[in-house]
């Protein structure tokens, strides 16, 4: 239908029908069960009439269920308005890819896009129309369990990934390409900055910081055409995002020109009451609609109060009309008026879900997301002929899909033991659990020692269970649980090489593990093909090329610790390390244990000296920075060459380094490749005190290197 007819449709709707369109519920509300209507529904103030007219349902799964739901809904719909079906397809639907933080570690935008395209195809065929992704919250605090949903701590990199994910989910013809779904970028805004890393906690920051670091990735998603936005649970400058007029109206709608659909996060409208900015549900509804929230997820304050607010003249019906129209327009854009079932098909589901092609992609992406954090005495790659003992709580665990893999199945997942055994070079002589995630017995330890004694190499699979990260998965102590540290201490005296394979959803404090291990491979939550992908990397069929996109702290006491921080007025230097009155800790270093951009390979790379095309750059010029990178080892490998810039004297203090570009190169042994980056004045702009984006004339440093720590500075001047 056209926009015109959507307006015509709107005109036929009663005020109640309009208001109920603004509501999103879970499918159980729409079930036949009458007990439902007297039980939880009544308790939530949800009536049958609301249910029959609710605009959207979240988390309905499977073509069979979604088709039945849509059919029943359409039968009840007076005006033939289809239901919009949304779900959290975060890193895969049935074929589960590695968690987003792991995908971030690939530094490969094409693979990120591909993972989203496959997730879209698998979910579209089950009848889903919209995914609640990408989550692009910038993160600096690994205590927060949701860092695994983000691509990390850098605004530029997050923005590039935001675009890639939106392209993958939506394609370039959402209306015509039924294998795609609409994307919903979240959580607007700055949810990643929850104080103390405690989930749902307050966010406090200046508008400048918000604009400089936190907003770019949301904006990038919208520039790429992302159809929807979800609000955040947190406050933004004292006002919950979901009722924040400045954020939603002034910034999102007026300044950025976003005219798509805005949905609250789960229950976030009602949460304005405990936040303490609304006395009751009526006031919460008023604030949310005024702030521009079109659809309310999982609470019924709009449905229960908007009518009364309109009749009392407190809410202009125009606001409701605008919201309804945005929802109708999205339904129309997805083609639901012509075909409310869209791509849902039980038949096609069988051929699309978990297809060999999708599994292969999951395996490739997983292998490329692993980050080799340590490798001494050439412990890795494993060699054929070595006898292996596979030990640890993740040796035979299916809990490797991550906390957001709702429709992935553990029984379809390749566990580590299965993946390793399938490799032709594997000779696994013993397997032992060694410990539980969080507890260990003497028997378990003895079994582990007995297993290890038979082997040449210990492959030790440790980590966090998926429940230890994700939503409501904050931790105050981010070391591995003591039980697992005890296990590694017990195995160490055997004097055999220990290769740790680490499963987790966040940067951990690795003390207690990294010193004891000869090699340490970070595999995050690797997804459906995890075990195979790990075997590919451990045996060297795939040379690890992942690089961290979030710093691994030395200790939780440093958090937040991130690479793009400021110098301070008393910076710590090698020369003043013994002075007291400098910015430092008395009991630990300032630097994280492992910096942003870090990761090893089975080969080695050397960098030549960077050369600049000029040392004086005028506005309008393009500065070229070139560097030779040589593979000095014996294996072919991939290197992520990173470009950073520092503005030495700005109007506002500037980060010590800011990522401005990167290139992932495949280099053969002995081969040298030259990388050339371009820098323009536009890339040197930042938000000044007046919140205008502009650059400063003066000196800049530019760095090209393998990570944010190990790169030499070259200097140039910008003249105006």
| Contact residues: ligand BGC, CB under 6 A | 58, 88, 132, 186, 265-266, 471
Largest Cα separation within the chain, whole Å, is 81
- Asked if omega into 195 is within 30° of 0 (cis), the reply is no
Q: Which residue has the tokens 């012509």?
A: 338
For residue 715, what are the β-bridge partners? 701
3-state secondary structure of 514: coil
Counting Cα atoms < 13 Å in the Cβ hemisphere of 685 gives 12
Minimum CB distance to ligand BGC smaller for 261 or for 391: 261
Minimum CB distance to ligand BGC smaller for 264 or for 304: 264
Least distance CB 194 / ligand BGC (angstroms):
12
Contacts of 535 (CB under 8 A, 6+ apart): 419, 420, 422, 423, 426, 541
Least distance CB 203 / ligand BGC (angstroms):
14
Least distance CB 244 / ligand BGC (angstroms):
16
Alpha helices for 528-571 (secondary structure H): 530-538
* Rounded distance between C-alpha atoms, residue 550 and residue 101, angstroms: 8
In angstroms, the Cα distances linking 125 to 118, 328, 634 are 11, 22, 45
Least distance CB 214 / ligand BGC (angstroms):
16
Minimum CB distance to ligand BGC smaller for 233 or for 370: 233
Counting Cα atoms < 13 Å in the Cβ hemisphere of 330 gives 32
Alpha helices for 312-441 (secondary structure H): 317-333, 346-352, 356-369, 416-421
Minimum CB distance to ligand BGC smaller for 322 or for 471: 471
- Asked if omega into 437 is within 30° of 0 (cis), the reply is no
Least distance CB 91 / ligand BGC (angstroms):
13
Backbone angles phi, psi at 323, to 5 degrees: -65, -45
Q: CA end-to-end span of the chain, whole Å?
A: 52
How large is the angle between the packed helices 155-170 and 216-223, nearest 10 degrees? 30
Minimum CB distance to ligand BGC smaller for 156 or for 200: 200
Least distance CB 481 / ligand BGC (angstroms):
25
Backbone angles phi, psi at 618, to 5 degrees: -95, 155
Least distance CB 10 / ligand BGC (angstroms):
27
3-state secondary structure of 540: coil
Minimum CB distance to ligand BGC smaller for 265 or for 696: 265
Minimum CB distance to ligand BGC smaller for 184 or for 667: 184
Is 440 exposed, middle or buried (CB count within 10 Å of its CB: 0-12, 13-18, 19+)?
buried
The alpha carbons of the chain give a radius of gyration, in whole angstroms, of 27
Minimum CB distance to ligand BGC smaller for 13 or for 182: 182
- Our measurement of the distance from residue 171's CA atom to the centroid of its chain's CA atoms, rounded to an integer in Å, reads 19
Least distance CB 145 / ligand BGC (angstroms):
11
Least distance CB 633 / ligand BGC (angstroms):
42
Cβ atoms of 123 and 181 closer than 8 Å: yes
* Rounded distance between C-alpha atoms, residue 487 and residue 460, angstroms: 9
Taking residue 441's Cβ as centre, other Cβ atoms within 10 Å add up to 11
Q: Let me know if 456 is a catalytic residue.
A: no
Active-site position among 265, 399, 518, 536: 265
Minimum CB distance to ligand BGC smaller for 137 or for 509: 137
3-state secondary structure of 279: coil
Taking residue 16's Cβ as centre, other Cβ atoms within 10 Å add up to 14
3-state secondary structure of 214: helix
3-state secondary structure of 708: coil
Taking residue 445's Cβ as centre, other Cβ atoms within 10 Å add up to 19
Contacts of 553 (CB under 8 A, 6+ apart): 142, 478, 507, 509, 559, 561, 592, 593
Nearest to 129 by CA among 78, 168, 172, 84: 84
Minimum CB distance to ligand BGC smaller for 150 or for 708: 150
Minimum CB distance to ligand BGC smaller for 274 or for 571: 274
Enumerate the active-site residues: 265
């Amino acid at each position: 239908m056209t926009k015109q007819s959507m307006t015509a449709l709107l005109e036929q709707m009663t005020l109640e029908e309009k208001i109920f369109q603004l509501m999103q519920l879970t499918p159980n509300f729409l079930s036949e069960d009458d007990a439902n209507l007297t039980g939880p529904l009544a308790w939530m103030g949800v009536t049958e009439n609301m249910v029959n007219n609710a605009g959207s349902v979240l988390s309905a799964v499977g073509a069979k269920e979604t088709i039945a739901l849509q059919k029943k809904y359409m039968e009840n719909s007076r005006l033939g308005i289809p239901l919009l079906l949304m779900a959290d397809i975060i890193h895969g639907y049935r074929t589960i890819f590695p968690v987003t933080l792991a995908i971030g570690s690939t530094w490969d935008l094409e693979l990120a896009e591909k993972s989203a395209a496959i997730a879209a195809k698998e979910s579209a065929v089950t009848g889903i129309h919209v995914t609640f992704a990408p989550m692009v919250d910038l993160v600096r605090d690994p205590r927060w369990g949701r860092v695994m949903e983000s691509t990390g701590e850098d605004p530029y990199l997050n923005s590039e990934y935001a675009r890639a994910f939106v392209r993958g989910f939506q394609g370039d013809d959402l209306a015509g390409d039924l294998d795609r779904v609409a994307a919903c970028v979240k959580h607007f805004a700055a949810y990643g900055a929850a104080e103390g890393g405690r989930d749902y906690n307050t966010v406090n920051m200046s508008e400048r910081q918000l604009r400089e670091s936190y907003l770019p990735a949301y904006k990038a998603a919208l520039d790429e055409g992302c159809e929807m936005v979800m609000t955040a649970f947190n406050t933004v400058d004292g006002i919950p995002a979901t009722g924040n007029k400045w954020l939603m109206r002034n910034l999102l709608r007026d300044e950025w020109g976003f005219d798509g659909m805005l949905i609250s996060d789960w229950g976030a409208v009602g949460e304005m009451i405990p936040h303490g900015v609304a006395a009751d549900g009526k006031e919460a509804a008023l604030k949310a609609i005024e702030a521009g929230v079109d659809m309310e997820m999982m609470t019924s304050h709009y449905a229960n109060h908007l009518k009364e607010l309109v009749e009392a003249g407190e809410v202009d019906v125009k606001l409701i009309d605008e919201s309804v129209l945005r929802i109708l327009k999205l339904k129309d854009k997805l083609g639901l008026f012509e075909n409310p079932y869209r791509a849902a098909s039980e038949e096609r589901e069988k051929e699309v879900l978990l297809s060999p092609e999708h599994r292969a992609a999951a395996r490739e992406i997983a292998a490329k997301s692993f980050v080799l954090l340590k490798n001494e005495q050439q412990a890795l790659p494993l060699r054929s002929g070595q006898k292996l003992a596979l030990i640890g709580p993740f040796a035979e665990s299916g809990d490797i899909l991550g906390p957001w893999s709702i429709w992935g199945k553990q029984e379809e997942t390749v566990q580590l033991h299965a993946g390793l055994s399938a490799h032709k070079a594997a000779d696994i002589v013993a397997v032992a659990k060694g410990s539980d995630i969080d507890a260990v017995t003497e028997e378990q330890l003895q079994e582990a020692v007995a297993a290890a004694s038979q082997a040449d190499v210990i492959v030790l699979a440790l980590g966090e269970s998926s429940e230890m990260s994700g939503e409501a998965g904050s931790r105050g102590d981010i070391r591995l649980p003591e039980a697992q540290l005890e296990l590694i201490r017990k195995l160490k005296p055997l004097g055999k090489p220990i290769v740790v394979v680490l499963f987790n959803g966040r940067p951990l404090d690795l003390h207690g593990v990294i010193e004891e291990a000869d090699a340490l491979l970070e595999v995050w939550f690797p997804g459906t093909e995890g075990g195979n992908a790990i075997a590919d990397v451990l045996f060297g069929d795939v040379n690890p090329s992942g690089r961290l996109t979030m710093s691994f702290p030395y200790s939780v006491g440093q958090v937040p610790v991130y690479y793009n921080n400021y110098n301070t007025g008393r910076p710590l230097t090698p020369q003043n390390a013994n002075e007291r009155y400098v910015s430092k800790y008395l009991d630990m270093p300032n630097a994280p244990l492992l910096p942003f951009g870090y990761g090893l390979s089975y080969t080695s790379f050397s960098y030549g000296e960077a050369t600049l095309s000029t040392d004086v750059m005028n506005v309008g010029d393009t500065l070229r920075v070139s560097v030779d990178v040589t593979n000095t080892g014996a294996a072919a490998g991939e290197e992520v060459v990173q470009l950073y810039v520092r503005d030495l004297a700005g109007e506002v203090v500037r980060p010590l380094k800011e990522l401005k570009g990167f290139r992932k190169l495949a280099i053969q042994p002995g081969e040298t490749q030259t990388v050339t980056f371009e820098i323009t004045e536009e890339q040197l702009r930042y938000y000044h005190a007046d919140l205008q984006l502009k650059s400063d004339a003066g000196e800049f440093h530019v760095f090209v290197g393998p990570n944010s720590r190990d790169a030499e500075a070259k200097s140039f001047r910008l003249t105006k």
